[in-house]
Each structure stands twice: as C-alpha cells, then as structure tokens.
C-alpha cells in the first residue's frame, strides 16, 4: 500500500503543480490550519481547494458499501485514514487473523495428491496474508 500510495501522491502533486496544490499532502497529513478563516489568503484557498479535489476524488473508486462508510466524513484526511483502517483492519480484526494464519502456516504441508505447483500456490496465499497483516519476517516466537 505504501508504494502505491506514494506513487499516487507523486502523481497528484505533479498533476496539480501549476496550481501549486499538493492533493496528496492534504490527504495523507491533513489540512494545515487556516491562517485567516474569515478573509482567506491564497494559501488558505489552495489548502481548501486541495482538500476538495481529494475529497471528491477518493470516493469515486469505492464500492457502495465502503462509500457509505466514508461519504459523510469532513476531510480527505479523515476519508483516507478510514480507508486505511478498513483495508488493514482494526486490532480486533487483526488478532484473530494473525492466529488463524499462524496456524495455517504452522500446519502447512503438501497433500498426498497435490502437485508441487499447487503446493506453491497454497503457500503463496498464506504468504500474502502474512504480508497483509504486516508480518513479513518470522521469528521463532511467531512459529
């Protein structure tokens, strides 16, 4: 996610370079505090504009279920943080996932009627889930 997110961020900053707007910064870090909310200087207008671009762009690629969970949020940063949590899962979701995949990894073996390629595909699914939950390096206590 980080590599993809950084790539998107670089694209967004580059795409709006003429307006000196960095949509990705507003999405990832949040808006900077407005200097004069009642009499907006250019910098405040750009900040609000960046947020509006991101806030309108993010939901366009979401399923209706995910969209319904983020549409009422007030900023692109809130939407982004909610999407990251939904993707990764909360601690309550991650802990059972961790123990489940740990058990699958520890009990992994080739089945009697399984070809080596099938075994590799099965192990690859386990490895992908391990990566998804952030467990990329196994120690003895993880096994």
Residues 71 and 106 in one domain: no
Residue span of the structural domain in which 47 resides: 2-88
Residues 72 and 18 in one domain: yes
Q: What is the pLDDT of residue 60?
A: 84
Residues 65 and 9 in one domain: yes
Residues 23 and 48 in one domain: yes
Q: What is the pLDDT of residue 142?
A: 57
Over the chain, what is the mean pLDDT?
A: 77
Determine contact, residues 119/110, Cβ cutoff 8 Å: yes
For 1-143, where are the alpha helices, taking DSSP H only?
2-15, 23-29, 42-57, 64-70, 76-88, 91-106, 116-132
32-59 confidence digits (pLDDT tens): 888 887 888 888 888 888 888 888 888 8
Residues 80 and 96 in one domain: no
Task: Give the whole-angstrom CA distance, residue 105 versus residue 100.
Answer: 9
Q: What is the pLDDT of residue 139?
A: 63
72-102 confidence digits (pLDDT tens): 999 999 999 988 888 776 666 677 777 888 8
Task: Give the whole-angstrom CA distance, residue 65 versus residue 79.
Answer: 14
């Amino acid at each position: 996610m980080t590599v993809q997110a950084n790539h998107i961020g670089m694209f967004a900053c580059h795409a709006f370079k003429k307006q000196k707007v960095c949509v990705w910064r507003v999405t990832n870090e949040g808006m900077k505090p407005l200097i004069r909310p009642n009499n907006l200087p250019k910098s405040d207008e750009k900040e609000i504009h960046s947020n509006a671009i991101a806030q309108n762009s993010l939901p366009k690629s979401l399923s209706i279920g995910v969209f319904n969970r983020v549409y009422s949020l007030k900023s692109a940063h809130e939407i982004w943080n909610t999407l990251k949590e939904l993707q990764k899962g909360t601690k309550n979701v991650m802990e059972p996932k961790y123990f489940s995949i740990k058990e699958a990894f520890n009990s992994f073996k080739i089945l009697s009627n399984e070809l080596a390629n099938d075994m590799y595909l099965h192990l690859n699914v386990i490895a992908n889930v391990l990566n998804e939950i952030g467990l990329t390096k196994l120690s003895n206590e993880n096994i």
